[in-house]
A and B are shown apart, each in its own frame.
Chain A
Amino acid sequence: MQLSSLLLAGKGKSLTSLFSLLYLILFLPACIVGYTLTPKKWKKYFLLLASYGFFWLISGELVIYLIISTFSVHYFGIWIDRLSGQMKAQLAELPKEQRKQAKAGFVKKQRGVVTLAAVLHIGLLLVLKYSPFFTTNVNTLLNKLGLSVSLEIPKYLMPIGISFFTLQAVSYIVDVYRGVIKADGDLLRLALFMSFFPQIIEGPICRYSETAEQLWNVKPIEYRNLTFGLQRILFGMLKKVVVADRLNLLVSAVFDTKNNYQGGIIAIGAVCYTVQLYMDFSGSMDAVVGTAQIFGITMPENFKRPFFSKTISEFWKRWHISLGAWFRDYIFYPVTTAKKMKKLTSSARKKLGNHYGPLVAGSIALFCVWFCNGLWHGSAWSFIFFGMYHFALILIGNMLEPPVQAVNKKLHIDPKRFWYRLLQIIRTCVLVVIGELFFRARGLRAGLDLFKRMVTDFSFSTLDNRLLKTLHADRYDFAIVGVTLLIIFVVSVLNEKGVCIRESLSKKHVVIRWAVLYALLLYIIIFGAYGLGYKPVDPMYAQY
């Protein structure tokens, strides 16, 4: 579904980007001023009001979904907590030998409540997001069976960010059930956790234990937090406005037009899209983390330099970390620790050994994770394919681990050597780019066609100035993107080595500090892709 259609009921599309002028010049400064002027004990309510105001501006009356979701998790949480209290009181009065059985009864009740809550929340998401996809496929099947029946394809308006706040809501309920957190009796505190404005569009998917208390016990704005936060937003802006937006027309030309580009040009398009997606999403996360920091709140990081990963498995621990962690904690572990799966692990280990034995149950859980991951990104076969592609890569990686180790040992290859790790990183990047080609293509068939042409007709012979014109790009664009990526690469290498650039900069002389910041701002103003002839990319993850 396109972002524009999601916004039919929205009031202000430009607010959906944390880099829009409306947000940066009006909304954020107004929030900072309003927050500063608000007395300390009312600051949290100001943040809640600002968050709901923001959501109203981007989603209009669809804010009702967020309100219902918040009320729902609030009462489900209290219900589960009440059952826990009853269980503890009753078990304390029973002799030890009767406790296990009594506990099982309560746990069964609690599980029923958690299941009901999860079904309601995920079910709503499924209906809103996937029923058109499901109905279309049913119609195709009916048509193939020769039946002249056709179901009406439903059209729903979805609020932006529903995929994010639904996962946050489910994690809250499950964490209360698991005893990780106590149910929140304060509806407003829970409402702020669910709606905090910088993260509502594209995440990160926070856990209640990570942010709820911080948000509620907000502090006055400090100079250090303000400057560090603004610097982080500025860095995100560099990624988004200079790189992601500049590549938008080129990517669009390769993926959205019917020009039959050569394989080499498709490969350039796929690489540019991968770079664009990373710059857009991680840039937005910089803005989220930076905005939160202004208010003294530490948000979890969603990216840790994913293109330095040596394996696909590692890549997904560094890319969209909060989503991966959600799938790990609420799908992978529950599946692998289910009773039948544990039995399967024990018996398979006896037959297949220490590596391949647990891989049997592990691969079933991985399949569930990657099927859901693909589907979470969108209701289309191309997204399911994307999930299955990564499932296959991770599974193959796991299966090949013992023979690769044996070959390395035999040939005396040290996997810690720089060139070996570099080759691993290059291989991972190539595999990621192929996956993103399918992710961006307009449907699975288009993706397969692009991939086929990329492999069978891999050549750059048609790449000249005339072709660059059809791609809406010239040497100037490539030079700007190249230099900016180099700057971001240097920053990433330093971050990877544990250097915090903002920290180092803050220790420099005031003239140097401001000179660097002005230089960065000027760089964005001069080389940013905005105005006539450019088409800024909508926040890419907002539509998921």
Chain B
Amino acid sequence: MERLIEILEDIQPDVDYASCTDLIDGHYLSSLAIISLIAELEEEYDITVPAVEIVPDNFNSAERIMKMIERLQEEY
């Protein structure tokens, strides 16, 4: 989780990622930030984030992002 928050802060600073639960709905993360984030997540966690996963529900909080990462890592 710590590493994920570091990545998020690097892409979009000045957001409290530990508590924020509306990163997309609250417009904290723009579509450009999402593009960067996906590229970073794939490199860091050795996963592939398909287009179908790009929905607000998966990106609204650091916790949700982490859950998506774990799910994608589990998928064979």
Asked if A355 CB lies within 8 Å of chain B CBs, one says yes
Chain B residue at smallest Cβ distance from A346: B39
- A178, A343, A358 interface centre (most CB from chain B within 10 Å): A358
Range for the number of chain B residues in contact with chain A: 10 to 19
CB distance from A421 to the nearest CB of B (A): 15
Does B20 interact with chain A (Cβ within 8 Å)? no
Please determine whether B12 and A361 come into contact, CB atoms closer than 8 angstroms: no
B51 x A345 contact (CB < 8 A): no
Docked CA distance A336–B54 (Å): 11
Q: CB distance A337 to B36 under 8 Å?
A: no
Q: Which of B12, B35, B51, B76 has the most CB of A within 10 A?
A: B35
Of A5-13, A95-103, A534-542, which stretch is located at the interface? A95-103
B residues 36-50 in Cβ contact with A at 8 Å: 36, 38-40, 42-43, 49-50
Contact between chains at A354 and B76 (CB < 8 Å): no
Q: How distant is the Cα of A354 from the Cα of B11 in the complex, in angstroms?
A: 6
Which residues in B have their C-beta under 8 angstroms from that of A342? 38-39, 42
| CB contact list, B1-23 vs A, under 8 A | 10-12
Q: Identify the closest chain A residue to B11 (Cβ).
A: A354
Query: In whole Å, how far is B55's beta carbon from the nearest beta carbon of chain A?
Result: 10
Let me know if A105 is at the binding interface, CB within 8 A: no
Contacts of B36 in A (CB 8 A): 345-346, 349, 354, 357-358
- Where chain A touches its partner, the secondary structure class is helix
Contact A336 B11 (CB under 8 A): no
Contact of B76 among A91, A180, A361 (CB under 8 A): A91
The reply on A415 being an interface residue by CB < 8 A is no
- Least Cβ–Cβ distance between B53 and chain A, in angstroms: 9
Q: In the assembly, what is the distance between CA of A357 and CA of B51, in Å?
A: 20
A345 partner, pick from B31, B35, B50, beta carbons under 8 A = B35
Q: Which residues of B contact A (CB under 8 A)?
A: 10-12, 31-33, 35-36, 38-40, 42-43, 49-52, 54, 76
Interchain Cβ contacts under 8 Å between A and B, 26 examples:
A91-B76, A99-B76, A100-B76, A180-B52, A329-B51, A336-B35, A337-B38, A337-B49, A337-B51, A342-B38, A343-B39, A345-B36, A346-B39, A346-B40, A346-B43, A349-B36, A349-B39, A354-B10, A354-B11, A357-B36, A358-B32, A358-B33, A358-B35, A358-B39, A361-B35, A362-B31
Across the A-B interface, the 9 shortest Cβ-Cβ residue pairs: A99-B76, A333-B51, A178-B52, A358-B35, A358-B32, A342-B39, A345-B39, A358-B36, A346-B39
